[in-house]
Amino acid sequence: MSSARGWLAHYLYYDALVPLLPLHSPYWEWEHHRERYLTFAAELRRLQDVCARALGPGFGEHPNYDPLKHFCAKSAHGLMQATSDKKITGTEDGAFRAITSLLYEAVSGKKGAELKRACDSVLREIRRTPS
């Protein structure tokens, strides 16, 4: 598949590149355009990955995803980040899960809801987000 991407980039970009350069261009001119070509090829790879995720199984949210639980976990994380210097973890009896549970109970009226997945999901999101 990677060779197909390379050929696609070549055929899409080649026609735009060749008219810009005289037939016997010095090497350094081609090298300048090589960077543009590599950037274009990288963008094609990125678009392919996005399309594969969109078309593949698992795109979107899991059927059991509860946006309210996720919102409470995200809110609890924000509160803890603003008021504490301690590391936020998803341990069962930890503060993050306890605060998430209290927020969820206050908003939904449901006691004892399982919030592990929501807390773990928020922690994964935070780790993936560049600082």
Domain ranges of the chain: 2-55, 67-128
Residue 1 pLDDT: 40
Question: Among all chains, which residue has been given the structure tokens 């899409």?
Answer: 12
Q: Tell me the per-residue pLDDT of 42-90, one tens digit each, with 9 for 90 and over.
A: 888 888 877 777 776 666 667 778 889 999 999 999 999 999 999 999 9
Query: Residue 21 above 60 pLDDT?
Result: no
Position of tokens 């504490």?
A: 84
Assess contact for 21 and 29: CB atoms under 8 A: yes
Residue 2: the pLDDT is 46
The 10s digit of each residue's pLDDT in 82-113 is 999 999 999 999 999 999 999 999 999 999 89
Burial zone of 48 (CB within 10 Å; 0-12 exposed, 13-18 middle, 19+ buried): middle
pTM: 0.54
